[in-house]
Amino acid sequence: MAGAEATLCQEAYQLLARLNTIDAQRVGDPEFPTTQFDEFPAANRYANVYPSQKINVLVNLTPLVEHGFPKSDQYWPTSPSEPLTVDHLWKVSLLSEKDAHDSFDAESASLAHNVPHLRVRHLRIESLVHDRQHEVTQMHFEGWPDHGVLDLQVLFGLLEAMHALQSRSAERPPVWVHCSAGIGRSGTLIGAYLLQQRAETLASQQPLSMAGDVTAHMRKYRAGTVQTSGQLVVLALAAAKMQATR
């Protein structure tokens, strides 16, 4: 097994090197908007992004601070009694905050139920200028180190949590995903989601080839998506698990 794992890691390293030569096009993917945390000022996100795209599930894959460096804005309030005001234009209220155990059913969503370091917040965004408001549910996962890889069980738990939250809306609008740079952790999670959607059509391919194809597809919309060979290996292992359980 150790030899097979070493071979997979080496092949993933070589594949990522080839993918890094792609001159990726920067056009937004309509299903998964992704950003780095400071790409859009908070007021712009609330005014132009979440309501206009009807975003109702927001995934944050980074802590506020990592190794002493800021990684994400604090764009939500910490107390239901103390709303956050943004540029005198928007008021953000915390309606509820729960951990995974209290957010997902232990039987119907057991993987999501057991994800550690996951908080689920229900937020209301209200305009202070116009009669306008929007609600969004934030999944905030703080157990994934920058440039790091994730245990497969936890990765599938995050996917299950996303599906569970999406299913609560009849419209199923895009899911907004961000980490710090918006390409490593975000790209790995979105890649795993896309593999789930393509499992039947890609079933005849080798898992690493499947992971490479999905990564190449994402890089058409955001350059550098999936940053490390370790993250590419995780996608390959996820693809293999999906094939085995079909």
Torsion, Cα 60 192 143 44, to 10 degrees, reads -10
| 183 neighbors 222 (Cβ within 8 angstroms) | yes
Residue for token digits 């199923």?
172
At residue 156, the 3 state secondary structure works out as helix
Active-site residue identified among 179, 189, 232, 236: 179
How far apart, in whole angstroms, are the C-alpha atoms of residue 185 and residue 86? 27
| 213 neighbors 202 (Cβ within 8 angstroms) | yes
Which two three-digit tokens encode residue 190?
């979105």
Ramachandran angles phi, psi of 224, nearest 5°: 80, 5
Phi-psi region of 95 (alpha: psi -120 to 50; beta: other; left: phi over 0): alpha
Q: 89: how many CB neighbours lie within 10 A of its CB?
A: 15
How far apart, in whole angstroms, are the C-alpha atoms of residue 161 and residue 141? 11
- Is there a catalytic annotation at residue 179? yes
Which two three-digit tokens encode residue 29?
């993917």
How far apart, in whole angstroms, are the C-alpha atoms of residue 143 and residue 154? 9
Residues marked active site are found at 179
